[in-house]
Structure 1
Amino acid sequence: MKWDWDRRTCSRRGHVTYAPTDPHLRERLHAETALGPAWRCLRCGDFALGEPGGSGPVGDAPAVPRGKALRDRFILRLLAVERLVRGLAIVLIAYAVWRFSNSQTAVQQLFNTDLGLLRPIAVHFHYDLDNSPIVGTIQKTFQYHRSTLLITAAAMLAYALIEIVEAFGLWAAKRWAEYLTVVATAAFLPLEVYELTEKVSGLKIGTLLVNLLAVVYILLAKRLFGLRGGAAAFEREREGASLLELQYSAGEGAKQGTEQPAEQAPSGK
């Protein structure tokens, strides 16, 4: 079963109708029924009873994504949510690193005290705390200078800010956000690959795949950096999917079809 993005969106958000001042286009979008006037939805193409949601020149009609454009917006918003969640998580981690840098000595003393209390229990269960990789990792963090921790927190905060800006831009379907997402994500791909060479984990692999697919998808679907015709081809594709453009073209074709015989009539006599 084919997923109808237009009708499913209209079922959730309602129809979008518009009455253009152009008489030929207005006639193609309007119908009179026994229940009153009906106008064609600019998203799904079905007629909806009632007065139009707006009226005016064709150029003032609302830009309503439909078909492939609607699917692309849905995917971009999924990426926006993922970017926002990741950005907020990094903000929390950066805050934790900053708090740790301010009380590093106290935390180390507390850890050493708790470690001493846990040592008899570890001996009972034949667990060597002195050679534990977890304990070793925690003890290494106590050796970092406060300036190093502050720089780390600032770098994480800057990265989180980029992720959050990407999220809001992608949600609003801004083209600059698509460029920012591709450039920023691609810049960190080598680092993610390097981390996998150090230690492989399901989370790292999943993150790398999501970022790689996001870069490839946005590059090709949005025709960035001149790919597949660039911005001009992207705009033509978006305008070609507009119901107003389709109806206007059909109306002009029908109009020319009716006028053509009248022009040729004198030559036939």
Structure 2
Amino acid sequence: MKWDWDRRTCSRRGHITYAPTEPHLNERLRAQTALGEAWRCLRCGDFALGEPHGSGKAENAPYVPRGKALRDLFILRFLAVERMVRGIFIILVAVAIWKFSNSQTSVQQFFDSNLTLFQPIAAHFHYDLNNSPIVGSIQKTFSYKHSTLAITAAALLAYALIEIVEAFGLWAAKRWAEYLTVVATAAFLPLEVYELTHKISYFKIGTLVLNVLAVLYILLAKRLFGLRGGAAAVEAEGHSASLIEVETSAGTPAPTRT
């Protein structure tokens, strides 16, 4: 079964109608029914009863994404949500590191005192806390300088800011955000691959695959850096799918989908 992006979007958001002042276009987009006047939706092409949402020259009609453009917008907004969630998580980590850097000694004392309390329990289950890799990793952080932790927190905040800016830009389908996402994501791919050489996890693999697919999709689908005709081809593709453009260039009314 083919996914109908236009109708499914209209079922959730409602139809968008427009009355062109050009007589020939007005006739094609308007219908008179027993229940009253109806206008063709600029998204799904079906007729909707009631007054049009707007009117004017055809060139001033609102741009309504349809078909492939609507699918692309959905994917961009999915990536925007993922970027926003990641950005918020990184901010929380940066704040935690900053707070830790300002109370490193007290945290170490608290950890050491509680580690002593857990020694008998660990010994009962034949677990050596003194040689535990987890305990060793935690203890290693106590040797980091305050300046090192502060720089790390600042770097994470900068990275989180980039992610959040990407999120807002992608949600609004801004072309600069698409470029920023491709460049920023591609720049960190070598680091993600390097991390996998040290320790493999399903989360790291999933993140790497998602980022690679995001870069390839945006790069090719949105025709960045002049690929496949560049921005001009994207704009032409959007106009060619517009219902107003279709009706303008058509000699006969476009058939209503059922």
TM-score if structure 1 supplies the norm length? 0.92
Within 5 A, what are the aligned runs for 1:126-205?
126-205=126-205
1:81/1:10 CA distance change after superposition, 3 Å: same
Per-residue CA distance 1:235-265 (angstroms, 9 max, x = gap):
1111100000000101xx359xxxxxxxxxx
Letter in 2 for 1:237: E
Q: What CA distance in whole angstroms lies between the structure 2 residues aligned with 1:148 and 1:106?
A: 18
1:64 partner SS: coil
Q: What CA distance in whole angstroms lies between the structure 1 residues aligned with 2:115 and 2:2?
A: 60
Aligned to 2:223: 223
Q: What CA distance in whole angstroms lies between the structure 1 residues aligned with 2:122 and 2:78?
A: 46
Q: Percent identity?
A: 77
Within 5 A, what are the aligned runs for 1:26-45?
26-45=26-45
Letter in 2 for 1:190: P
By how many angstroms is 1:150 displaced? 0.4
Q: What CA distance in whole angstroms lies between the structure 1 residues aligned with 2:208 and 2:85?
A: 16
Aligned to 2:97: 97
Letter in 1 for 2:48: A
Aligned to 1:46: 46
Q: What CA distance in whole angstroms lies between the structure 2 residues aligned with 1:197 and 1:13?
A: 46
Q: Does 1:235 align with 2:235?
A: yes
Instruction: In structure 2, list runs of 5 or more residues that go unmatched.
Output: 254-258
Letter in 2 for 1:14: G
Aligned to 1:259: none
Aligned length: 253
Aligned to 2:88: 88
Q: What CA distance in whole angstroms lies between the structure 1 residues aligned with 2:39 and 2:53?
A: 9
By how many angstroms is 1:124 displaced? 2.1
Letter in 1 for 2:227: L
Within 5 A, what are the aligned runs for 1:245-264?
245-250=245-250, 253=251
Per-residue CA distance 1:34-88 (angstroms, 9 max, x = gap):
1111111000000111110000112221110000000000111111111100000
Per-residue CA distance 1:98-132 (angstroms, 9 max, x = gap):
00000000000001101111112222222111110
2:16 partner SS: coil
Q: Does 1:61 align with 2:61?
A: yes
Q: What CA distance in whole angstroms lies between the structure 1 residues aligned with 2:99 and 2:191?
A: 26
Aligned to 1:112: 112
Q: What CA distance in whole angstroms lies between the structure 1 residues aligned with 2:252 and 2:112?
A: 85
Letter in 1 for 2:151: I
Per-residue CA distance 1:164-213 (angstroms, 9 max, x = gap):
11111111111111011000000000000000001100000000000000
Larger Cα-atom Rg: 1
1:31 partner SS: strand
Q: What CA distance in whole angstroms lies between the structure 1 residues aligned with 2:207 and 2:5?
A: 28
Aligned to 2:256: none
Q: What CA distance in whole angstroms lies between the structure 1 residues aligned with 2:208 and 2:166?
A: 17
